[in-house]
Amino acid sequence: MKKMKNLTKAQKSSSLTYAVVIVAFAIMFALKTSGSLSSKMTGMLVPICAYIVMAVSLNLVVGIMGDLSLGHAGFMSVGAFAGTIAIVSMQYNGVESAGLRLVVGIIVGAIAGAIIGFLIGIPVLRLNGDYLAIVTLAFAEIIKVLIQNMYLDLDENGFHFSMVENTNTTNLETARLIIEGPMGIRGITKISTFVAGFILVMVVLIVIFHFMSSRTGRAVMSIRDNRIAAESVGIPIFKYKITTFTLSAAMAGAAGVLFANNYSTLISAKFNIDTSILVLVFVVLGGQGNMLGSIIAATALTILPEILRGFSDYRMLIYAIILIAVMLISNNSQLKAAFDGLLIKLKLKKAPDEEEGGKA
Amino acid sequence: MSFLNYLVSGLSLGSIYAIIALGYTMVYGIAKMLNFAHGDVIMIGGYMCFFAVQRFNLPPVLGVIIAMLACTLLGIIIERLAYKPLRSAPSLAVLITAIGVSYFLQNAAQLLWSSNPKVFKSVVGNGVLTIGGEGGLIVSHVALLTVVVCVIIMVGLTLFVNKTKMGKAMRAVSEDKGAAQLMGIDVNRTISITFAIGSGLAAIAGVLLCSAYPTLQPTTGSMPGIKAFTAAVFGGIGSIPGAFLGGILLGVIENLAKAYISTQLSDAIVFGVLIVVLLVKPAGLLGKAVREKV
């Protein structure tokens, strides 16, 4: 107990986050191995992990850096394709171990995400506010369209790449068609596992919490709070921002690989503006800068449409209403007071000033 | 001559973008919010006109008026229920609420009218105007109507904002909400009226969009909505002539890219041009660069 008191606020929040993630994983893993999870829920475990990584990585940009990005799915897409290409070609060359392939794939995806994030960050981070948002959106759309027009084959002579048609291999019997334009990558072996997802989430959390207490992290937060003041004490804004943005893109890339290898097909149209917005919703509902909030929101909002399945056709309508209601209640003081009063009346809540963010 | 034909269809598409972008830009200029649900109001406008004209056999003019009334009302209701309570909330919260409204409208439309595409009959028929005889310039009536309507709306809006008392109030609110309130301007009412006008414009855009591209389904409005949003930023968000210019340019670039470069890559080219413009002129083509005060 005495030791707990010596911890700083940030350390407490990170320990709490680790604890929640580990406990949640242990419970879900036990449920899964005992077979008491429905097949629908089991199938959602890996996507939930991928969305958690996405939400946490976008929270780094939106919450810690204070810039609005509407193109996070673009980095996920780049990572997913680069990582899956690596995985498929390793398989083609006879790498047996699925675990090794996945680890290498995720690393390749993260590197690809980082490279693209760095390149896009150079022009984008010179803009501010809504302009930054629209340009990230534009880049994500460009990435989507470009990948839709890519053709990549692999045969014994190596890779063949084309932006026009799928005619670049000479050897159709032995070649592996990797990317087939709008049809994307087909025939993926589903090697992502819940354990891999959990490990990725933990690694990303450790990196983020260390980042937040590092020199760069503190500098970026000072830029968020007051850019002019930060600049006037000599903080190189662009340098710190691009570091953060690149790190975030790398994490999104890794999440993409995890996500992609949970399905047998990967198409670029999946990573459109809707996916970017979905992740942004996780971040805002969970609370900007609050990693645990992002994790809870990503999990809750991924499961929510499944829970609402009983309402069949009305499912997405109810989802929309819940989304609007949560935003109104958590941001309007009158509605919030009324909602708190209701909770106290229903004896669901005791202290009037308790936090209630993150629960959808 | 084919170049001119592409140019004309680009102008017509651009005019539709411009009308939508005008709605975006007015709302952004005054309420400082990105109204992501704007594209879905367009879709509702399309459906209203569709039912009025094709189910109840009303004349097209009446159909357009009904669509405008319905969308204006819808705009006011959305503003009152979803955006007004968030007047002092952080802008991201408002953005997410707008996304929620967009989901709501799309799914409500899907429940009410199913997701099967409906074939929308053009409000002015499918006639064409040929200039210069055989192989000459072909202009469809819809394209002509679209461009004319767009110019009228743009001139009308400019006059409204610059000459009327309400327009003056709008400019004051967009400049400084607090100061406007102290001068006796009803800020809430001004914002509501802006939403009403923007939604009415969305209805017109919806009818024209569906007349030119006749499939109507619950997701009809989302891509044109995003493109028009891009157009508004392109021209300088908050500026009426900017939205007009941005919309027209975007439509022309998109059509020419489709014709001469690649159909599949046209969207990438449009967004690429946007990025280049924003890097050279960070406030858009006609936007005012606001200097930071320390």
Question: What three-state secondary structure class fits B131?
Answer: strand
Judge whether A177 and A158 are in contact, CB under 8 Å.
Answer: no
- Whether residue A216 has pLDDT greater than 70: yes
Chain B closest CA to A264's CA: distance in Å?
25
Give the sign of the dihedral formed by CA A140, CA A144, CA A150, CA A153.
positive
Percent of chain B with pLDDT over 70: 96
Chain B closest CA to A347's CA: distance in Å?
26
With respect to residue B148, please indicate whether it lies within any of the assigned structural domains: yes
Contacts of B229 in chain A (CB under 8 A): 134
What DSSP designation does B86 have? G
CA distances for A27 relative to A6, A21, A33, B51, B79, angstroms:
30, 10, 10, 53, 43
Judge whether A194 and A32 are in contact, CB under 8 Å.
Answer: yes
With respect to residue B294, please indicate whether it lies within any of the assigned structural domains: no
Contacts of B272 in chain A (CB under 8 A): 138, 142
pLDDT tens profile A246-264? 999 999 999 999 999 999 8
Percent of chain A with pLDDT over 70: 91
Residue A209: which of A26, A68, A12 has the closest Cα? A12
Judge whether B27 and B158 are in contact, CB under 8 Å.
Answer: no
- Whether residue A357 has pLDDT greater than 50: no
Global pTM value: 0.86
**Bridge partners (DSSP) listed for residue B118:** B216
Chain B closest CA to A114's CA: distance in Å?
20
With respect to residue B23, please indicate whether it lies within any of the assigned structural domains: yes
With respect to residue B145, please indicate whether it lies within any of the assigned structural domains: yes
CA distance A325 to B97: 9
- Residue of B114, B275, B290 to mutate for A, most A C-beta atoms under 10 A: B275
CA distance B132 to A43: 63
Mean pLDDT of A122-139: 85
- Whether residue A311 has pLDDT greater than 80: no
Domains of chain B: total: 1
With respect to residue B287, please indicate whether it lies within any of the assigned structural domains: no
Smallest CA–CA distance from B99 into chain A, residue: A277
Chain B contact for A139 (CB, 8 A cutoff): yes
Chain A closest CA to B3's CA: distance in Å?
24
Chain B contact for A280 (CB, 8 A cutoff): yes
> Cβ neighbours of residue A222 under 8 Å, at least 6 residues apart?
A229, A230, A235
Percent of chain B with pLDDT over 90: 34
Cα within 13 Å of Cα(A67), Cβ side: 31
pLDDT tens profile B2-31? 788 888 889 999 999 999 999 888 888 888
B90, B101, B111 member nearest A324 (Cβ): B101
CA distance A326 to A319: 11
pLDDT tens profile A266-288? 998 889 888 998 899 899 888 88
pLDDT value of residue A173: 67
Cross-chain Cβ contact B274/A123 below 8 Å: no
Q: What is the CATH number of the domain that holds B34?
A: 1.10.3470
pLDDT value of residue A360: 39
Cross-chain Cβ contact A148/B101 below 8 Å: no
CA distance A107 to A86: 10
Cross-chain Cβ contact A334/B85 below 8 Å: yes
Contacts of B230 in chain A (CB under 8 A): 134, 137-138
**Bridge partners (DSSP) listed for residue B215:** B119
Judge whether A320 and B100 are in contact, CB under 8 Å.
Answer: yes
Instruction: Look at A312-316, A344-348, B255-259 and tell me which has the smallest mean pLDDT.
Output: A344-348
CA distance A293 to A355: 11
Mean pLDDT of A326-334: 82
**Bridge partners (DSSP) listed for residue A109:** none
The CATH number assigned to the domain with range A2-345 reads 1.10.3470
With respect to residue B286, please indicate whether it lies within any of the assigned structural domains: no
Checking phi first, is residue B138 left (phi over 0); if not, alpha (psi -120 to 50) or beta?
beta
CA distance B114 to A313: 10
Q: Where are the alpha helices (DSSP H) in chain B?
A: 2-31, 38-50, 60-78, 91-113, 141-163, 165-175, 177-182, 187-212, 222-235, 240-260, 266-280
Cross-chain Cβ contact A141/B294 below 8 Å: no
With respect to residue B28, please indicate whether it lies within any of the assigned structural domains: yes
Cross-chain Cβ contact A281/B89 below 8 Å: no
The domain containing residue B86 runs over which residues? 2-280
At B236, give phi and psi (nearest 5°): 105, 100
Cross-chain Cβ contact A321/B82 below 8 Å: no
Strands B137-140 and B128-131 turn out to be antiparallel
pLDDT tens profile B49-89? 999 988 888 888 889 999 999 999 999 999 999 888 888 88
- Whether residue A113 has pLDDT greater than 60: yes
Cross-chain Cβ contact B294/A228 below 8 Å: yes
Greatest pairwise CA separation for chain B in angstroms? 64
B89, B97, B274 member nearest A324 (Cβ): B97
Judge whether B54 and B228 are in contact, CB under 8 Å.
Answer: no
What DSSP designation does B80 have? I
CA distances for A81 relative to A143, A294, B130, B261, angstroms:
11, 25, 48, 25
At A78, give phi and psi (nearest 5°): -60, -45
Residue A116: which of A61, A78, A87, A161 has the closest Cα? A78
